[in-house]
Amino acid sequence: MIAQKHIDSISAEFDGKWVGDARHRFSVGDVGFLLELTPESGQSRIEVRDSPARTAGSLTDVLFGLISGRTAVEALGAARIVEVARNGRGKVQTLWGDELEVALVELGYPEISRDVYDEDAAD
């Protein structure tokens, strides 16, 4: 399981952040996997997606952890859209405990590991 210090860190950094753009319009109550994508050059962006981050080599679904590559992907758990701007962007609230468990079932990933993915240990 993810340590409380990581839960506190993710909540503090991402709760209340706005995600999405004109390509994806959210509705209040939408739930998805919270990801931060950081390209080699350019600005990071936060996304909420219907599917989790997945490793390139073993094709392992990742709920928490960092996957390096030309675009690094940090899996930050799951989030719910709690407010929607006029342009369709959504404000997120991270999910923990029972809310996370319900979200993972709703998303079709009840079996996903709750441990932090460690790229070095996976080698």
How do 90-94 and 31-39 pair as beta strands?
A: unpaired
Given a contact cutoff of 8 angstroms between Cβ atoms, the answer to whether 20 and 48 are in contact is yes
Give the integer Cα–Cα distance in Å for 105 and 55.
21
**pLDDT value of residue 76:** 97
Q: What is the pLDDT along the chain (123 residues), one digit of tens a residue?
A: 788 999 999 999 999 999 987 677 899 999 999 999 999 998 999 999 999 999 988 899 999 999 998 999 999 999 999 999 998 899 999 999 999 999 999 999 999 999 999 877 665
20-33: burial string, b at 16+ Cβ within 10 Å, e else: beeeeebeeebbbb
